[in-house]
Chain A
Amino acid sequence: DAKTTQPTSMDCAEGRAANLPCNHSTISGNEYVYWYRQIHSQGPQYIIHGLKNNETNEMASLIITEDRKSSTLILPHATLRDTAVYYCILTTSGTYKYIFGTGTRLKVLA
């Protein structure tokens, strides 16, 4: 299964953009990049996903490099409620299993 690499932790000032990177150099052609977040010890919450084009929704933007070996999740105006662990996940073909890493712990500072 393809793996992802994320920084362990990041800080961001409230109101600023939070840019969370993810490396996935062994991604295969039909694998999507999914982003989830986990606030405190709640169940993970879906944020956004993409294949090769940049994507945007009401929560965030996803930028995927042209070679698809890395991506960046952008929270355009971070708030204190965005403090969470963010997971970058590659879907596996066939059975739709997720392989979670340890994620990035984002702390939004007032």
Chain B
Amino acid sequence: NAGVTQTPKFRILKIGQSMTLQCTQDMNHNYMYWYRQDPGMGLKLIYYSVGAGITDKGEVPNGYNVSRSTTEDFPLRLELAAPSQTSVYFCASSYSGGLAKNIQYFGAGTRLSVL
């Protein structure tokens, strides 16, 4: 199993450009998440999904959009990139087995710079 795979690993965007961060998992997990991590800080939840077709906002959703058309994929879209979106983005997935089994598995991250 590859686990959670994120692409690209690095990207530089100009202000106002758009891009999609890809995330796919092969563990048949229902739950998927997007986080961002600014330097020296903990991770902040952007969006999450509890299953195909269902998404909801996290702590910091402004400037981002998501979709979940399949169990495996959970892309994150930046429509108008801003310098404040310079960060490391992590995707995660978890088994929906209740609070006792909510172990999240993380991808390696996408490092994004907006200049």
> A residues within 8 Å of B by Cβ?
30-32, 34, 36, 41-46, 49, 51, 87, 91, 93, 95-103
- Checking A30, A41, A91, A95 against B109 with a beta-carbon cut-off of 8 angstroms, the contacting residue is A41
- Chain B positions near chain A (C-beta within 8 angstroms): 4, 31, 33, 35, 40-45, 48, 50, 56, 58-59, 88, 90, 92, 94, 96, 99-100, 102-109, 111
B99 touches A30 (CB 8 A): yes
Query: Complex formed: what's the CA distance from A38 to B108 in Å?
Result: 11
- The smallest beta-carbon distance between A36 and chain B, in angstroms, is 8
Cβ B106 vs Cβ A44 within 8 A: yes
Whether B48 contacts A102 by the Cβ 8 Å rule is no
| A78 to B41 CA separation, bound complex (whole angstroms) | 24
Bound-state CA distance A95–B45 (Å) is: 12
Interface of B is mostly: strand
Please give the distance in Å from B84's CB to the nearest CB on chain A.
Answer: 19
A-side contacts of B108, CB under 8 Å: 42-43
Determine the distance from Cα of A56 to Cα of B25 in the docked complex, in whole angstroms. Answer: 28
Chain A's closest residue to B50 (CB) is A95
B102 touches A43 (CB 8 A): no
**Total A-B contacts with CB atoms under 8 angstroms apart:** 63
Q: How far is the CB of A40 from chain B (nearest CB, A)?
A: 10
- Shortest Cβ distance from residue B67 to the other chain A in the assembled complex, whole angstroms: 18
- Bound CA span A32–B111, Å: 31
- Does B56 contact A46, Cβ atoms closer than 8 Å? no
Measured CA separation A10–B17 after assembly (Å): 41
A96 and B42 contact, CB distance less than 8 A: no
B35: chain A residues within 8 A (beta carbon): 100
Contact B99 A32 (CB under 8 A): yes
18 pairs, A vs B, C-beta closer than 8 Å: A32-B102, A34-B102, A42-B108, A43-B106, A43-B109, A44-B92, A45-B106, A46-B104, A49-B103, A51-B100, A91-B99, A95-B50, A95-B56, A96-B96, A101-B42, A102-B40, A102-B41, A102-B42
